[in-house]
Each structure stands twice: as structure tokens, then as C-alpha cells.
């Protein structure tokens, strides 16, 4: 028998549905993603830690859960909100249903919700806290404090992946498996290390390059590591992705700010300023680098979001540092910007002339 449940927002609105997964409910920041596919990748993306994810596409679960599309070992989010849940998936690779995966992982969910109305509510108020509950009067209030999510999802020890190409150290703030897969596909030897590794620890691994990964939460929570991030990026070719992009900017004196309801989806248009070419990108973030805080004597802006003109990429004028706010590995989403990995790794040969974009 379906058990009725509720999503209660801190702004007072409530949405009815039926509980799936962990029936005890959850609390978290309520966000939405506009992608039509990729629910398995989204649920296992560590960047969603602590968040209740609303799927804009109405039918979710129709191709089930497979063995290949997880972006981490298990679902990382706090909960999910679904319009129409398919309990009998139809796909030859499916080994589980979405609701079973949630239940096994202890993640709460709510289906049968008017997700269109919910998304309009989030767009009106901005990102807001919510509670999934069996009652309209839950015991939990909205004044909870979040843990340090990066620490919760990042690796606890270094993990090495052998290969024949250049050695890349991947600083893990909550990396997606697809980033590792993209590097391995390019022939890289990869060592994934915890987010708190110092320059000395990275140096001891003798990398050819360093990548600063995506991850959850406010980048300012990592303020105590900015000096090490700066030192690492001054000594090795560095690429920042999503949170990693923000951390590199902050390490060089820039600032970040929170968007009203973030960029989450697989069809965000981004303009490459050097060529004028627009590429479609996969995005998942709440924070952006503040435009006025960039020192244009040090950095040039390489990409901008077509919709709201926010900064989507940076490149340092002296050091071999580049960063992107979007996900070049996608998953889910288009592969328009997968070339960024190839171009970054191309820097590992002797440095030639570099053409910089004009903002």
C-alpha cells in the first residue's frame, strides 16, 4: 500500500505525494535538474550531497538502474522528488528499479508530486530548505546545520590507477567517476587523493598535472586550503572542474556568490570567447565566481554562460592553470566540451604560444 508523504518547504508551501525508498524522510536543500535522462548519474553524483533533488522530467525510472552509470559507489543525495515513477523498468541492462536502489541506500523519496509547481516555487523563492516527512507537522525544524559535505564524500586515502600515459593527480572534493574514466581513456595514470593533500604530499607523487574536482557545498568551506591550492597550481599544470574551478579562483583572490537556484541540467549553452563558438554543457552547481572579483591582470575569462553571462571558464596568463564551471565529462549531458581534457593534457608537452580570449 502506498504511504502518503509530504514535502514541506521552509517558505510554507507543502506538496503531497507517496513515499519511496527510506520512509523515515529526510531534510535538505531543495534543488531541481532539467535533464531528460541520467537520473542514475545524478543520484550518485557527490555534488548533490545534502540536497533533495527534484527531477523536472516527469517520467523517472523507466530504464531502471544498471551496473555502469553510477558516478560514485552509492546515491549521495539526501532525497529525490519525482512526478511519475516507473516501477517496472524496461531496458536490457537494468538490474534494479529506482525505488529499490533508494531503499537499499537508505535514501528518501517522494513520487506523485506536482514537480512543475514545485520548480516554479523554487524559481520564485530561490533554493530553499525542505523536509520530506510522513506528517505535515514534522519534528525536525529548518534550522539544522549541514556537515562539511566534502569530507563526507571524498576519498579517505590515495587510490592509484596504472596506465601508460602522463601521471595526473586528481584532488578529490567529491569527484565523478566519469572524470576518472575520461582521464584513463586519454591514457593517463591517475592517483586520486583526499582534498586536504598539501603541496608537499602532491609533489611527492611526482605528477605531470593536477586536476581539482567537482564537489558539494560552499567553496568557502575550504578556505583553509586556499594557500595549498595556489601553491600546487603554481607548480603543476592545473585544471579545475566545477567546485575545482571556484577553488582555483578563490585561491588567487577572487570571490564567489550563490545563485538564486543554481545551474543544473544537460543543455546549458556556454560561449567560448576566443572562437565565439557556443557549446552545450552539463552543469550542476549553486555557486559562481563573482565577475567583478577577477583580476584581469592575472586571469582571462575563457567561457561565459549565454543565458546569464556568468563566468564559465578561466585561464591564467602566467601559470598553466585553466578551469571550467561546467562538466566536460558530462554524464549526463552532451559531450561538446570533452575536448577540454585532450587540450589540457596537450599542455604536458613543452609549452608553446597561447592565444588568450578577449572578454
Residue pair 170/53 in contact by the 8 Å Cβ criterion: no
| Listed residues 82, 102, 133: the one ending a domain | 133
pLDDT of residue 143: 81
Please name the residues in contact with 5: beta carbons below 8 A apart, sequence gap of 6 or more. Answer: 16, 17, 18, 19, 23, 25, 110, 132, 133, 134
- Given 102, 133, 164, the domain boundary residue is 133
264 shares its domain with 333 = yes
Active site residue 329: yes
Domain contains 138: no
Are 195 and 60 members of one domain?
A: no
Residue 351's pLDDT is 39
| Catalytic (active site) residue 327 | yes
| Distance in angstroms between the alpha carbons of the first and the last residue of the chain | 58
The predicted pLDDT at position 142 comes to 84
Residue 115: give its domain's CATH number.
3.50.30.20
Q: pTM for the whole thing?
A: 0.95
Looking at 245, 285, 327, 331, which residue is catalytic? 327
Same domain, 124 and 237: no
**DSSP strand pairing (256-272 vs 84-85):** unpaired
Task: Report if residue 242 sits inside a domain.
Answer: yes
- The torsion angle over the Cα atoms of residues 175, 179, 183 and 184, rounded to 10 degrees, is 90
Within-domain flag for 141: no
**Which parts of the chain have pLDDT scores under 50?**
350-359
Cα angle 36, 48, 37; round to 5: 15
- Give the residue numbers spanning the domain of 17: 4-133
| pLDDT value at residue 358 | 39
* Domain total of the chain: 2
Give the CATH number of the domain where residue 271 resides.
Answer: 3.40.50.880
243 labeled part of a ligand binding site: yes
Q: Which of the following is catalytic: 26, 242, 312, 331?
A: 242
Residue with cell 520564485: 124
> What's the pLDDT score for residue 357?
39
- Whether the link from the prior residue into 332 is cis, omega within 30° of 0, is yes
Domain co-membership, 122 together with 190: no
Going across the sheet that includes 159-161, the strands are 159-161, 189-194, 167-172, 209-212, 238-241, 321-324, 311-316, 299-305, 256-272, 278-289
Q: Do 56 and 160 share a domain, yes or no?
A: no
- Decide if 86 is catalytic: no
d(CA 289, CA 294): 8
Q: Choose the final residue of a domain: 71, 102, 133.
A: 133
State yes or no: 250 annotated in a binding site. no
Residue range 223-282, pLDDT digits in tens: 999 999 999 999 999 999 999 999 999 999 999 999 999 999 999 999 999 999 999 999
Q: For residue 355, what pLDDT is reported?
A: 38
Q: Is residue 171 part of a domain?
A: yes
Beta carbons of 22 and 107 less than 8 angstroms apart: yes
Do strands 128-133 and 79-81 pair parallel, antiparallel, or not at all (unpaired)? unpaired
Query: Quick one: 215 and 276 in the same domain?
Result: yes
* 188 and 287 in a common domain: yes
- The reported pLDDT for the residue numbered 140 is 74
Task: Looking at the structure, tell me whether residues 337 and 214 fall in a common domain.
Answer: yes
Identify the pLDDT of residue 1.
52
174 and 300 both lie in a single domain: yes
- Binding residue per annotation — 319? no
**For 194-215, what is each residue's pLDDT tens digit?**
999 999 999 999 999 999 999 9
Same domain, 205 and 240: yes
Does the annotation place 217 within a ligand binding site? Answer: yes
Amino acid at each position: 500500500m502506498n504511504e502518503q508523504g509530504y514535502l514541506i518547504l521552509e517558505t510554507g508551501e507543502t506538496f503531497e505525494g507517496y513515499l519511496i525508498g527510506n520512509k523515515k524522510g529526510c531534510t535538505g536543500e531543495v534543488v531541481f535538474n532539467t535533464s531528460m535522462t541520467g537520473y542514475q548519474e545524478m543520484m550518485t553524483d557527490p555534488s548533490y550531497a545534502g540536497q533533495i533533488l527534484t527531477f523536472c522530467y516527469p517520467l523517472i525510472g523507466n530504464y531502471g538502474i544498471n551496473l555502469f552509470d553510477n558516478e560514485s559507489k552509492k546515491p549521495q543525495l539526501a532525497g529525490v522528488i519525482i512526478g511519475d515513477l516507473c516501477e517496472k523498468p524496461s531496458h536490457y541492462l537494468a538490474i534494479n528499479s529506482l525505488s529499490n536502489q533508494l531503499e537499499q541506500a537508505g535514501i528518501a523519496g517522494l513520487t506523485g508530486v506536482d514537480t512543475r509547481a514545485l520548480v516554479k516555487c523554487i524559481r520564485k523563492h530561490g533554493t530553499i530548505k525542505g523536509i520530506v516527512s510522513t506528517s505535515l507537522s514534522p519534528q525536525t525544524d529548518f534550522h539544522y546545520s549541514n556537515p562539511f559535505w566534502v569530507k563526507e564524500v571524498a576519498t579517505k586515502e590515495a587510490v592509484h590507477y596504472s596506465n601508460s600515459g602522463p601521471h595526473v593527480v586528481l584532488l578529490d572534493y567529491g569527484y565523478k567517476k566519469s572524470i576518472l574514466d575520461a582521464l584513463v581513456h586519454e591514457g593517463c595514470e591517475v592517483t586520486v587523493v583526499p582534498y586536504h593533500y598539501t603541496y608537499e604530499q602532491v609533489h611527492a607523487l611526482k605528477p605531470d598535472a593536477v586536476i581539482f574536482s567537482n564537489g558539494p557545498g560552499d567553496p568557502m568551506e575550504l578556505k583553509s586550503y586556499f594557500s595549498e591550492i595556489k601553491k600546487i597550481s603554481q607548480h603543476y599544470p592545473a585544471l579545475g572542474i566545477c567546485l575545482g574551478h571556484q577553488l582555483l579562483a578563490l585561491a588567487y583572490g577572487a570571490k564567489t556568490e550563490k545563485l538564486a537556484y543554481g545551474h543544473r541540467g544537460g543543455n546549458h549553452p556556454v560561449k567560448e570567447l576566443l572562437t565565439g563558438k557556443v557549446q552545450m554543457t552539463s552543469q550542476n552547481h549553486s555557486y559562481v565566481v563573482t565577475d567583478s572579483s577577477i583580476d584581469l591582470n592575472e586571469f582571462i575569462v575563457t567561457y561565459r554562460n549565454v543565458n546569464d553571462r556568468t563566468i564559465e571558464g578561466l585561464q591564467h596568463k602566467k601559470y598553466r592553470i585553466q578551469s571550467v564551471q561546467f562538466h566536460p565529462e558530462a554524464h549526463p549531458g552532451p559531450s561538446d566540451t570533452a575536448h577540454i581534457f585532450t587540450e589540457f593534457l596537450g599542455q604536458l608537452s613543452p609549452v608553446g604560444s597561447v592565444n588568450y580570449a578577449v572578454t
